[in-house]
Amino acid sequence: MTCMSPAAPARRPPLLLALQVGATILMSLAIAQAGLAAGFLTGTRGARVVHGINAYLLITVTVGLLIVAILYQRSGGPRWPLLAVGIIAVVEVTQIILVRTGVTGGHIFLGVLFVVMATLLTSYLFRPGFIPASR
């Protein structure tokens, strides 16, 4: 009689885990950013200030993700996470430029696009074909 034990889960490379955690934080902050925008657009006091603070948190997380994505790609990982995070960073900088120049419609449109991109990045980093399979 043989004992069949379930396969041990695959160990994720630490840089992949860091990308996944960072992307999840980015997505969470992006969703919060949309809620804060809705709050101040409908008259909730203080939401605009928190929306601004959250914008800088988003930029900080994105810079961290860029660094991790560079390290991950240099360690043999795929290039697309670096490209995706780079595009997200460009959208964030554009968001700041749009809000400072008073282009509210463009800012809202890119904000929606930003939430979608953060969600896609997170979901693709967790897809089964991307995570190393167990042996």
- Please name the residue that has the structure tokens 């809000």: 99
Distance of CA 35 to the CA centre of its chain: 16
Q: In terms of pLDDT, which residue wins out, 6 or 126?
A: 126
- Is the pLDDT reported for residue 135 higher than 80? no
Identify the burial level of 114 via C-beta atoms within 10 angstroms of its C-beta, where 0-12 means exposed, 13-18 middle and 19 or more buried: buried
Look at the alpha carbons of 68, 71, 73, 79 in this order and tell me if their dihedral is positive or negative: positive
- Is the pLDDT reported for residue 38 higher than 90? yes
pLDDT bin (cut points 50, 70, 90) of residue 8 is low
The tens digit of pLDDT for each residue in 83-124 reads 999 999 999 999 999 999 999 999 999 999 999 999 999 999
Distance of CA 61 to the CA centre of its chain: 8
Mean of per-residue pLDDT scores for the chain: 91
